[in-house]
Amino acid sequence: MTAPVIAVDGLDFVYPDGTAALERINLHVHRGERIALLGPNGAGKTTLVLHLNGIHMPQRGTVNVSGLSLDSDSVMEIRRRVGIVFQDPDDQLFMTTVREDVEFGPRNLGLAGDELDRRVDRALAAVEVADLADRPPSHLSFGQKRRVAIAGVLAMDPEIIILDEPTSNLDPASRRELTSTLQGLEVTQMIVTHDLLYALELCERTVILDRGAIVADGSTRELLADTDLLARHRLALPAGVRID
């Protein structure tokens, strides 16, 4: 197997108030994988994700992205390689038009002219929002905003995209559109979600985190079929749904 694009080894993290958020995390993600990260509230999912692009720095252990070890020298390049799409797209959309939002990141990397235009056009086309380029983000539906937020991350040409609760507040049609978009992206993806059926639909592999530790890592279908495992870690399928 090829070298992992994300390698987390022995990662610990304690908040200033003494809360131990992560304990001895070991996680390897390989190029092209689409992985679900599941766990109850307070499990440490957000803390782990914020280590993957250097918003948090390791206190103990290591985080490695495509051969780069996360430290103060590498953090800016790692943030380019790992893009995060936050749960609320309004946290990422703040410019006058969709195009200006999508070009904001690469423009700040120094891209300009035809190269910038190509990068932005490619990102808009990848999530099928090119027709929205001149519209104000405030005039878009929630599902459209989410796809524009993804385009803004794609325009940075990342190697990994992390999506935080991507189905929250989406109607069924927008959910289907998002599924098609994510399945069409040729980039490694980590999907943080409480939506177990969405994890099953999109991800062959699932990692379950609870109380700051990885408690399961394997086939999504096999893990979601284990009702005792789900119950122990305060996870649940919709009422009446069982995975065979």
**Residue 44, amino acid:** G
| The Cα angle at residue 217 between residues 212 and 218, in degrees rounded to 5 | 165
Does some domain include residue 101? Answer: yes
- Residue 65, sorted as left (phi over 0), alpha (psi -120 to 50) or beta, turns out to be beta
Q: Supply the CATH number for residue 127's domain.
A: 3.40.50.300
Task: Count the domains in the chain.
Answer: 1
The answer to whether residue 140 sits within a structural domain is: yes
Whether the pTM exceeds 0.85: the reply is yes
Q: Specify if 13 maps to a domain.
A: yes
Query: Could you tell me if 74 and 110 are in contact, meaning their C-beta atoms sit under 8 angstroms apart?
Result: no
Would 195 be classed as within a structural domain?
A: yes
- Within a domain: 241: no
Residues 6+ apart with CB under 8 A from 123: 102, 151, 152, 154, 155
Assigned domain for 187 exists: yes
Structure-token pair, residue 185: 């992206």
Q: CA–CA distance from 237 to each of 18, 61, 157, 205 (Å)?
A: 33, 34, 35, 17
Question: Could you give the strand order of the β-sheet that contains 213-219, starting from the edge strand earlier in sequence?
Answer: 82-85, 160-164, 188-192, 34-38, 205-210, 213-219
Question: Are 6 and 31 within 8 A, CB to CB?
Answer: no
- Other Cβ atoms less than 10 A from the Cβ of 151: the count is 28
Residue 131's pLDDT is 94
Per-residue pLDDT of the chain (244 residues; tens, 9 = 90+): 578 999 999 999 999 999 899 999 999 999 999 999 999 999 999 999 999 999 999 999 999 999 999 999 999 999 999 999 988 888 888 899 999 999 999 998 888 899 999 999 999 999 889 999 999 999 999 989 999 999 999 999 999 999 999 988 888 888 888 898 899 888 999 999 999 999 999 999 999 999 999 999 999 999 999 999 999 999 999 888 888 7
Q: What distance in Å separates the CA atoms of residue 30 and residue 19, rounded to the nearest whole number? A: 30
Asked if the structure places residue 104 within a domain, the reply is: yes
For every residue of 1-21, DSSP letters joined together read: -PPPSEEEEEEEEE-TTS-EE
Return all residues near 163 (Cβ < 8 A) that are at least 6 apart. Answer: 84, 85, 150, 182, 189, 190, 191, 192
d(CA 80, CA 68): 12
**According to the model, what pLDDT value does residue 1 have?**
59
Query: What's residue 73's pLDDT?
Result: 94
Q: Do residues 93 and 39 touch, judged by C-beta distance below 8 A?
A: no
Residue 75: which domain range?
Answer: 6-232
Helix/strand number for the chain, H first, E second: 9, 10
pLDDT of residue 3: 85
Q: Is residue 186 part of a domain?
A: yes
